[in-house]
Amino acid sequence: MLIFGTRRTARQLAVLMLTCPQGHAAAHTVTGLVTRFTLFFVPTFRVRTRHVVQCTLCGLSGDVSKERAQELVTQAAST
Ligand SMILES: [Zn+2]
């Protein structure tokens, strides 16, 4: 029998001050979510990668492009 599925791992890439769509000027986290295909519970290849920005004040989160996430990481590193 073949046992397969997916496993998702989250990695926090940066924390920086941004203004969220609700108008909060608060710390936001930039997280990379990687979904991997698993075979017999062993992660194999990457299925998809998402980048999410979340407001730490209200918890509102939204997907951003890889390029935008990279921009935010660079911005966080330079402040
Ligand atoms: Zn907010």
Q: What is the mean pLDDT of each run of 10 residues along the chain (79 residues)?
A: 94 96 96 96 94 97 97 91
Q: Tokens 């990279």 — which residue? A: 70
Look at residue 13 and give its three-state secondary structure: strand
Look at residue 65 in the predicted model and tell me its pLDDT: 97
Helices (DSSP H) in 1-79: which residue ranges? 66-77
From ligand 1's centre to the CA of 20, what distance in Å? 5
Q: What is the pLDDT of residue 39?
A: 95
**pLDDT in the model for residue 22:** 93
Predicted pLDDT of residue 66:
96
- Span from the CA of 79 to the centroid of ligand 1 (angstroms): 21
Residue 78 pLDDT: 86
Tell me how far apart the alpha carbons of residues 61 and 52 are, in angstroms, rounded to a whole number: 7
Find the 61 Cα to ligand 1 centroid distance in Å: 9
The total number of structural domains that make up the chain: 1
Vertex 26: Cα angle to 19 and 62 (nearest 5) = 60
Instruction: Give, for 53, the enclosing helix (H) or strand (E).
Output: strand 42-55
Which domain range does residue 32 map to? 4-78
Ligand 1 mean position, distance from CA 25 (Å): 7
